[in-house]
Structure formats: C-alpha cells, structure tokens
Amino acid sequence: MPPTHSVVLTCAGIGSRLGLGQTKALLSIGGRSLIAWQLDLFTQVEDLRIVVGYQAADVVKEVLRYRKDAIFVYNHNYFATKTGASLFLGARHAHAYVVQWDGDLLVHPEDARTLLAMPGEYLAYSVPASEDPVFVHTGADGSVQSFGTGQGTLEWTGPACIKKERIHETTGHVYTMLQAHLPLPGVCVRAQDIDTYADYQRAVAFVHSW
C-alpha cells in the first residue's frame, strides 16, 4: 500500500436494519467475526484507523486479538450520525489519501489487494448484490459520474480512496459527501454489503466461494 495512504474502517453503527442486536463488525461468518475477515486484508497496511461506537469495547477487544497497532477513533454520536461522520473523525490525522472502508463490507481478497495497491483516487462498485442498493452511473471509461437510488446496473459499495482534503464534517453518508467531487475513477470489484438478514446470508455464501 502506498505510504501516502491511510485506511479508515468505519464500524460505529448499530446495524438496526439487520435486526440481530449486534454491531455488524462482530457478526459470525464461517466461524469468524466479520472484522477478522477484514483485518486479514489489511496486513500490509501500516496506518489502520478503526472508528468504533456501538459495542465499542467488544469491537476493540476483537481487533486486538489480531492487530495490536490499530488506531481506534470513537464516534460517540453514532446513534445520530452515518458513515460520513465516522469517516471525518477517522481521517482527521490520516495521510494525504484516505481509503474509506465500511465495517459491513466484504471484498474478495484478490480485488482488495488490487485496490490497496492503487495510487490516487478511486471509487469501487459492484454488480448489485444487496437488498437496498445505492446505484452508481458510470461513463464509458468506467468512471463514476453520479449516484442514485432509483435503478441501475452497478451498486455503490466502496471502498473509496479520496484525498483527505475532500473529507468534511457531516452527519450523512459518504456517497453524498463524494457527490460534489464527481466524476472520479471507478473500479468494479466483487463485494457484498450487509444491511439486512438476506444480505448477511449472501455474505456467508460469498466468503465460502473464496
């Protein structure tokens, strides 16, 4: 991973749509927590920042089983804010480029390695794989031109690598923050976002397919 880059993993939310009463970072997938699968992808990342909120102590304890040098950032207002707020908090002392990674996102390891080695900015997307997607609309070169919630053939999943200077304080979503900076280079990846129980079941199958 380029030395100019930091990874911010946002794990503060309560996962209310999933309905399991547990932060999604601690979901069991194939006998391991979701965040353990994610940490496997970041072994070559020197600057890893994990934003915690709901069930923070349990998430910290789980991370420290695998990674002693992670930097923990607390979003104490996790109940009233979304991923954009966690990204802002996690990126405040980061390097020039910030790789935003949702705490409920699984990316195929091969694609994750490709993304983490890329210089510069990008937004990642996939074929639609979740029940409540935000779509991306792309140009002929694959660049992301806009986001939308109506119809589309590609789903916004992230990760996103953006210049730290583009990140501002917000209570909303990351994609609404990024809208003003489009178009940005796009990369299609194999990924599974987890918002609902059906998404969770797909995530289990997705990991087994590796």
Q: Is the pLDDT of residue 209 over 90?
A: yes
In total, how many domains does the chain have?
Answer: 1
The mean of the pLDDT values for the chain is 95
Domain membership of residue 138 as a residue range: 5-208
pTM: predicted TM-score of the whole model, two decimal places: 0.95
* Beta strand spans in the chain (E): 5-11, 28-29, 32-33, 48-52, 71-74, 97-102, 105-107, 122-126, 135-138, 144-148, 155-163, 186-188, 191-193
Domain CATH for 201: 3.90.550.10
21 backbone φψ class: left, alpha, beta (φ>0; ψ -120 to 50): left
pLDDT tens for each residue of 75-127: 999 999 999 999 999 999 999 999 999 999 999 999 999 999 999 999 999 99
- How far is residue 77 from each of residues 22, 25, 39, measured CA to CA in Å? 17, 18, 25
Confidence band of 150 (pLDDT split at 50, 70, 90): confident
Predicted confidence at residue 19, as pLDDT, reads 66
Closest CA to 182 of 138, 149, 141, 150: 138
